[in-house]
């Protein structure tokens, strides 16, 4: 068989039919018909180019979100939960109530009076409340600062924000889903502490009727309801901090800078709340209302402090989310 002849059984699928060169045509005119390629109709049909398959790009989240709104939120939650550093943060949050329960069981009361941890040695239900009182000062604000710093600045830093904006999903909707995912992340963090505290406290001290700070007793069902009230209150508090972080995240493309800025905001609020000369400012600070969740240990349940706190949290959330919206909707994404 000559080099110019093609065996139909060895034909390969290509993107377009082979085009004979000018030399091949010249040889065909001299050597006769047998030197030209003999292509059957099956070869021609198999050589047609297959339609290109769409590739999965970084904008897939936004494309699916334009069709099913819930999928965008689910994608954001998977992104938050799937990050290794966030998983490590949840382990740290869960470790605190476990360490506190073990320390209380091994070394007993601290001798400082009727603090929550001392009371928890008689009832494990108080372990998660004691842990929340410890972690709301630093660990929980730090966790939400890390999440909010990654919300916009992290996407911009990795270059995925520009791809997300190329699909038919409005910036307002993106910002709303981002903020909702942060609030759900805050709920997961608070819930992790409560669940770990209940397990550790139940194993070491047992679970039973709760003796309130007012001297009355609550059965286990009412105690769980009080715990849920505290969880909801602290989730709203962290949601306000998340709104601040979301706004800061729209101002920079460095997530670590956004995280540090949010923590500086929390620390400054704490310092201002400790200065007696600024007592007129204290009611307007987020940190001044964080410990109001401890009112769940009183009977009847006083709602005045928590309602004032919820009002402040809602004000911060609205003001800073709108500020983030004004910035994000006019921001020029260049990276």
Q: Residue ranges per domain, the chain? A: 69-105+113-329
Q: How confident is the model at residue 56 (pLDDT cuts 50, 70, 90)?
A: very low
Query: What's phi and psi for 48, nearest 5 deg?
Result: -70, 145
Residues with Cβ within 8 Å of 11's Cβ and at least 6 positions away in sequence, in order, are 39, 43, 46, 47
**Per-residue DSSP letter, 167:** S
Give the DSSP letter string of 277-318: GGTTTGGG-GGGGGGGGGGGGSSS---HHHHHHHHHHHHHHH
Q: What is the per-residue pLDDT for 13?
A: 42
What is the share, in percent, of the chain residues with pLDDT greater than 90?
A: 48
- Which runs of E-coded beta strand occur in the chain? 210-211, 217-218
> What would the pLDDT profile of 6-28 be if each residue is shown by its tens digit?
444 444 444 444 454 444 444 44
* Mean pLDDT (whole number) for 300-310: 93
Residue 64 has pLDDT above 80, yes or no: no
Q: How confident is the model at residue 109 (pLDDT cuts 50, 70, 90)?
A: low
Q: What is the per-residue pLDDT for 332?
A: 66
> What would the pLDDT profile of 138-153 be if each residue is shown by its tens digit?
999 999 999 998 888 8
65-69, 193-197, 303-307: range with lowest mean pLDDT: 65-69
Structural contact between residues 291 and 214, judged by C-beta atoms closer than 8 angstroms: no
The reported pTM is 0.77
3-state secondary structure of 274: coil
> What would the pLDDT profile of 242-263 be if each residue is shown by its tens digit?
999 999 999 988 999 999 999 9
Q: What is the per-residue pLDDT for 136?
A: 94
Distance of alpha carbon 104 from alpha carbon 123, whole angstroms: 12
> What would the pLDDT profile of 184-220 be if each residue is shown by its tens digit?
999 999 999 999 999 999 898 888 888 888 888 888 8
């Amino acid at each position: 068989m000559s080099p110019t002849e093609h065996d139909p059984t060895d034909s390969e699928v290509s993107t377009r039919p082979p085009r004979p060169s000018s030399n091949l045509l010249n040889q065909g005119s001299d050597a006769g018909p047998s030197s030209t390629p003999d292509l059957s109709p099956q070869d021609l049909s198999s050589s047609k180019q297959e339609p290109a398959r769409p590739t999965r790009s970084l904008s897939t989240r936004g494309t699916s979100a334009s069709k099913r709104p819930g999928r965008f939120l689910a994608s954001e939650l998977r992104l938050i939960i799937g990050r290794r550093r966030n998983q490590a943060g949840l382990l740290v949050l869960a470790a605190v109530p476990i360490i506190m329960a073990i320390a209380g069981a091994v070394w007993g009361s601290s001798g400082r009076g009727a603090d929550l941890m001392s009371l928890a040695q008689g009832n494990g239900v108080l372990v998660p409340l004691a842990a929340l009182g410890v972690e709301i000062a630093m660990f929980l604000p730090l966790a939400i600062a890390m999440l909010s710093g990654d919300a916009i600045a992290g996407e911009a830093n990795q270059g995925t924000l520009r791809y997300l904006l190329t699909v038919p999903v409005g910036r307002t909707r993106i910002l709303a889903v981002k903020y909702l995912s942060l609030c759900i992340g805050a709920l997961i963090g608070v819930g992790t502490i409560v669940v770990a505290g209940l397990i550790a406290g139940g194993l070491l001290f047992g679970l039973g009727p709760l003796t309130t700070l007012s001297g009355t007793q609550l059965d286990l069902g009412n105690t769980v309801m009080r715990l849920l009230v505290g969880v909801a209150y602290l989730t709203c508090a962290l949601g306000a901090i998340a709104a601040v972080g979301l706004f800061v995240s729209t101002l920079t493309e460095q997530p670590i800078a956004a995280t540090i800025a949010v923590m500086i905001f929390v620390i400054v609020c704490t310092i201002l709340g400790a200065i007696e000369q600024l007592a007129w400012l204290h009611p307007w600070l987020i940190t001044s209302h964080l410990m109001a969740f401890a009112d769940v240990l009183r009977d009847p349940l006083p709602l005045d402090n928590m309602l004032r706190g919820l009002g402040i949290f809602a004000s911060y959330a609205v003001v800073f989310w709108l500020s983030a919206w004004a910035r994000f909707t006019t921001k020029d994404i260049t990276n």
